[in-house]
Structure 1
Amino acid sequence: MCRWLAYSGSPVLLEDLLYKPENSLVVQSRHSRLGVETINGDGFGVGWYGALETPGIYHSTEPAWNDRNLQELSAHAAAGRVFAHIRASTGTAVQQTNCHPFRHGRWLWMHNGAIADFKLLKRDLILAVDPALYTEIEGSTDSELFFFLALTFGLEEDPPGAVARAVGLIEETGRRHGVQYPIQMTVATTDGTTTWAFRYSSEGRSRSLFRSTDVSTLRIQYPDNPVLHKLSEDARLVVSEPLGDLHGAWREVPESTCLVVQGGSEELHGFSPTHAR
């Protein structure tokens, strides 16, 4: 599978997210604690919002621990909203167009998990994508196709509803082909202002997902920790696995949940697929 993080808050250097934490994403690329695979070395990607209307992205097929360009970029680039993803392929090619996060206009999307028996379901799912969007699909992954299904079902207007409809279609298609548990997912998507994160699986045993505790609370608990005093009050992280062992810093996102992060506020909502009637 994969590992990812979604950050929002005051601008921080990318290296503060990707390299400096005790269990940083770069460390996880070689020594994941909670992933299905210990090593996530099939490429990586970073997306961030800066001076332009659309987010910037940097993709590489190099393992994250071995890319000097990522280290150089991370030491100089800062942003207030960052998506980062390290990949462990579930069968599709290791190539830049298969690296997350994926982009459409202002939107970013990344996924940990898989559509089960994807080769069996792929044709039916592709045919469900809006023809106006189809030409933008560049790679061959289930994750990118999932993104374009969500866009087809209205991601830009109603992210939770669109993801629910996309997951419903995937489950219906899978079960029509005899796949018992069609999808496993933790997903993050953003329009640059709000982040939506989802934890769900057809089996009811989803991959790990955590959110950071309110920064002001942590400052009271750890008054001598300099990292906490550099962050703004609205700083939030959503991660596949905690970036460190600071007690009380992380809370697990429950099974079958949609987490909405906007500014310093967070909301948890139940999530379930919407199946066609």
Structure 2
Amino acid sequence: MCRWLAYIGEPLQPSTVILDAQHSLVAQSLNSPLGNETVNGDGFGFGWYPEDGGPGATPAFFHSIEPAWNDRNLRELTQAIRSPLFFSHVRAAAGPPIQQTNCHPFRHENWLFMHNGFLAGFAEVKRDLTWAVDPSLYPHLQGTTDSEVLFHLALTLGLQSDPIAGLGAAIGLVESVGRDHGIPFPMQGTVAVSDGSTLWAFRYSSEGRSRSLFHSVDVDTVRQMYPDAARLKLFGDHAHVVVSEPLNDLPGIFREVPESTVAVIDHDGYHHRPFLSADA
């Protein structure tokens, strides 16, 4: 459906991974070996927290319906700023129209959210799910995607106090409503969520066959494996990248996130937790 990337760590020029990596996100928008669609050219989005924003800072974002590889503004912007935490997403539209309000990431206060996947049979369940959104949040629904509805359901069900429980409750509702409508596998996808300090990356589908998701291992480990790699000097000691597919071909740098798992990444590193599984 789409490809996405999230970075957390020392402030970094976003173009380093969005544009300049061997298999950068822009390269994946043209050729995605692990994606369901080879080309993801139906718009893109870039959301970032300011370098000096501090806890609770409101992120900025830039959305465009241009293909990512064809937008000069994306290059200018990602080369001009530095950010300690940013999201970027390239879209392959599966139904909802190509418009800026349907581009990820989505924002609410200090939170960013993006999704690769779909809610199966969304046309049949859209009314039930949309009306389950809290009335105070309903006016903030600007686009027509299932992903934006999922985000606002998670906000309704406690995302801001507990992102794992909040998104889990939202997916539980999606699955319950979907199955009431005869949809056997209502949820598919990978999701990134952040409050500006921590990054949560989820991999889950009702069928147990989720979209691909990887994150980098600790930079110190990578430097030990590849001491002569000059490009590693661009990254600080706490840098981590979460991606739909690896940014390079070097073995050992990227670790696959298992099915039904959330990777929690902050300044101290990463750990995995079961998500909506028997062990959760």
Normalising TM by the smaller chain, what interval?
over 0.9
1:231 is aligned to 235
Cα distance in 1 for residues equivalent to 2:90 and 2:261: 23
Contact 1:9 1:236 in 2 (8 A): yes
Cα distance in 1 for residues equivalent to 2:74 and 2:18: 9
Cα distance in 1 for residues equivalent to 2:249 and 2:101: 34
Cα distance in 1 for residues equivalent to 2:171 and 2:277: 5
Q: C-alpha deviations, 1:176-224, integer Å up to 9, x for none? A: 0000110101000000000011100010000000010111011111111
> TM-score scaled by structure 2?
0.96
Amino acid at match of 2:149: L
1:119 is aligned to 123
Partner of residue 246 from structure 1, selected from 247, 250, 253 = 250
Any stretches of 5+ residues in structure 2 without a counterpart?
none
Q: How does 1:8-47 map to 2 (within 5 A)?
A: 8-47=8-47
Tell me, yes or no, if structure 1 residue 109 matches structure 2 residue 113: yes
SS of the residue aligned with 1:135? helix
Cα distance in 2 for residues equivalent to 1:112 and 1:62: 18
Partner of residue 272 from structure 1, selected from 273, 276, 279 = 276
Amino acid at match of 1:34: L
Partner of residue 59 from structure 1, selected from 44, 60, 63 = 63
Cα distance in 1 for residues equivalent to 2:14 and 2:165: 31
C-alpha distance 251-273 of structure 1, shift in aligned 2 (>3 A): closer
> What CA RMSD, in Å, does the superposition of the two structures yield over aligned residues?
1.1
C-alpha displacement at 1:230, in angstroms? Answer: 2.4
Tell me, yes or no, if structure 1 residue 181 matches structure 2 residue 191: no
1:167 is aligned to 171
Tell me, yes or no, if structure 1 residue 204 matches structure 2 residue 208: yes
SS of the residue aligned with 1:150? helix
Q: C-alpha deviations, 1:26-50, integer Å up to 9, x for none? A: 0000101100000000100001011
2:7 is aligned to 7
C-alpha displacement at 1:273, in angstroms? Answer: 7.3
Q: C-alpha deviations, 1:143-164, integer Å up to 9, x for none? A: 0000000000010001000011
C-alpha displacement at 1:95, in angstroms? Answer: 0.2
Cα distance in 1 for residues equivalent to 2:242 and 2:18: 13
Contact 2:13 2:79 in 1 (8 A): yes
C-alpha distance 87-112 of structure 1, shift in aligned 2 (>3 A): same
> TM-score scaled by structure 1?
0.97
Any stretches of 5+ residues in structure 1 without a counterpart?
none
C-alpha distance 273-42 of structure 1, shift in aligned 2 (>3 A): farther
Aligned residues: 274
Amino acid at match of 2:9: G
- Runs of 4+ residues over 2 Å off in structure 1: none
